[in-house]
């Protein structure tokens, strides 16, 4: 990374940021079209939310596959192949004859988009470590977090002159552009001598050895549970804001996009002050902030409070995500240079598995209540905090006690 000039370094970071941004584009851009898709396919809101669940499951499984393949065959080939599949799946969504085919295609879209995230993160680990890893990843997160600010607004804008099909046409064009840039501009970052053997046993062995690291698992669960709560918000607010509070698709896009500012603030703070405040301190503080915000949100939706009282705690909850995702990734990946692709895949797996479980829960009470969303977000925040306390904090205390015992014996 140090060998790249300023301009080349900037282009490299922007490209990686764009590849990671493919996932929030895929998830967020079609959110304002949920009511439109429900009407066109003559289906229930829960089935449209299931299309989000299918996409999240695809993202989860796709990361495991892409991460393992990138450790075996390098970063470029799996990434290019996945982008080809993404373009095809996005275009096919336009011609889906019914909601069931649409759901299946959303799974394929998520599966193929996963490589952009997991391989980009692995490339970051290939070319950096220590504080530089944290700063570089924070830059990627700032770029990545601009997308939730823009994607819903873009989706709402497209709906002014088109229907939901215009959204998926745009996604196919975005995928094609990234495919061309990757094919001609992205260098290979994993040399042959650092690649793992191409066999299933070695792949499972990598995953198993990584998960045996208790601190890694703690960071992964803290991040995964908290981000899983985000998908409850992503799945629930299109109906809650528009059906319960009566906002327009464009107003929803603005409200949703405001939280992108929070994500940027959370991510930027970690990268900007990582040399002053430790990543662990950032992570712990953000987990407490998220849990407090989740508690307030649950109380507000039970009391059927006004829109602003729902928007404010959600903003602080989402802001904490920017801090947690940046700091936990850096802390978890620091010791995983031997299998960065597989480690990145595991870090990416949990949020989407948990998100796939959380997304349909918010529709359990129907389209006229926000309580299931509030309860799901609160539960995810609390579990994330507990995972950090019991798997990371307690492990660190035990290590410290053991060191002190050894010193006393000496």
Which one, of 68, 106, 78, 95, lies nearest residue 359 by Cα?
A: 106
What's the pLDDT at 198? 63
Domain for residue 363, yes or no? yes
Which one, of 29, 26, 33, lies nearest residue 163 by Cα?
A: 33
- The long-range contacts involving 296-300, CB below 8 angstroms and separated by at least 24 positions, are 297/374, 297/377, 297/378, 298/371, 298/374, 298/375, 298/377, 298/378, 300/374
Domain for residue 291, yes or no? yes
User: Domain of 39: which CATH number?
Assistant: 1.20.1250.20
What's the pLDDT at 66? 87
What's the pLDDT at 340? 65
What's the pLDDT at 46? 77
Q: Rounded to an integer, what distance in angstroms lies between the CA atom of residue 300 and that of residue 283?
A: 26
Domain range enclosing 77: 12-187+205-405
Domain for residue 192, yes or no? no
Measure CA 79 to chain center: 18
What's the pLDDT at 410? 58
Domain for residue 362, yes or no? yes
Q: Rounded to an integer, what distance in angstroms lies between the CA atom of residue 48 and that of residue 37?
A: 7
Domain for residue 6, yes or no? no
- The enclosing H or E element of 222 equals helix 214-239
Query: Which segments of the chain have a pLDDT < 50?
Result: 1-2
Q: Do the beta carbons of residue 107 and residue 50 sit within 8 Å?
A: no
Residue owning tokens 């009566």: 246
Domain for residue 1, yes or no? no
Find the largest Cα–Cα distance for the chain: 76
Domain for residue 200, yes or no? no
What's the pLDDT at 202? 64
Rg (CA), the chain: 21
Q: Rounded to an integer, what distance in angstroms lies between the CA atom of residue 300 and that of residue 164?
A: 32
Q: How many Cβ atoms sit within 10 Å of the Cβ of residue 288?
A: 13
Q: Rounded to an integer, what distance in angstroms lies between the CA atom of residue 144 and that of residue 91?
A: 23
Structure tokens at 101: 């085919």
Structure tokens at 386: 């507990």
Domain count, the chain: 1
What's the pLDDT at 82? 95
pTM to 2 decimals? 0.70
Residue owning tokens 């000039």: 5
Domain for residue 102, yes or no? yes
């Amino acid at each position: 990374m140090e060998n790249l000039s300023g301009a080349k370094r900037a282009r490299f970071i922007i490209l990686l940021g764009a590849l990671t941004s493919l996932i929030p584009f895929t998830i967020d851009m079609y959110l304002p079209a949920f009511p439109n898709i429900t009407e066109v396919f003559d289906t229930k809101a829960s089935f449209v939310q299931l299309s989000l669940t299918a996409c999240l499951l695809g993202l989860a499984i796709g990361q495991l596959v892409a991460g393992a393949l990138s450790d075996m065959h390098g970063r470029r080939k799996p990434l290019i192949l996945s982008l080809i599949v993404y373009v095809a799946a996005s275009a096919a969504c336009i011609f889906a004859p019914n909601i069931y085919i649409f759901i299946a295609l959303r799974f394929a879209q998520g599966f193929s988009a996963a490589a952009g995230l997991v391989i980009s993160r692995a490339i970051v680990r290939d070319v950096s470590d220590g504080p530089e890893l944290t700063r570089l990843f924070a830059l990627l997160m700032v770029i990545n977090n601009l997308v939730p600010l823009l994607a819903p607004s873009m989706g709402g804008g497209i709906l002014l002159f088109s229907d939901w099909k215009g959204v998926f046409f745009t996604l196919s064009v975005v995928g094609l552009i990234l495919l061309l840039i990757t094919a001609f501009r992205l260098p290979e970052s994993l040399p042959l001598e650092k690649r793992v053997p191409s066999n299933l046993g070695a792949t499972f062995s990598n995953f198993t050895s990584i998960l045996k690291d208790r601190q890694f698992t703690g960071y992964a669960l803290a991040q995964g549970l908290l981000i899983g709560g985000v998908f409850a918000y992503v799945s629930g607010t299109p109906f809650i804001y528009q059906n319960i509070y009566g906002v327009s698709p464009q107003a929803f896009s603005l409200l949703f996009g405001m939280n992108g500012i929070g994500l940027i603030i959370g991510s930027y703070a970690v990268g900007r002050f990582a040399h002053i405040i430790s990543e662990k301190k950032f992570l712990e503080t953000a987990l407490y902030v998220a849990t407090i915000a989740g508690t307030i949100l649950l109380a507000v939706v039970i009391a059927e409070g006004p829109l602003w009282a729902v928007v404010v705690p959600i903003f602080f909850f989402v802001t904490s995500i920017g801090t947690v995702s940046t700091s936990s990734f850096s802390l978890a990946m620091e010791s995983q240079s031997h299998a960065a692709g597989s480690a990145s895949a595991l870090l990416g797996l949990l949020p989407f598995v948990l998100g796939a479980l959380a997304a349909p829960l918010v529709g359990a009470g129907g389209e006229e209540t926000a309580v299931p969303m509030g309860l799901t977000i609160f539960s995810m925040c609390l579990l994330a905090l507990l995972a950090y306390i019991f798997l990371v904090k307690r492990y660190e205390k035990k290590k410290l006690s053991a060191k002190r015992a050894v010193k006393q014996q000496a």
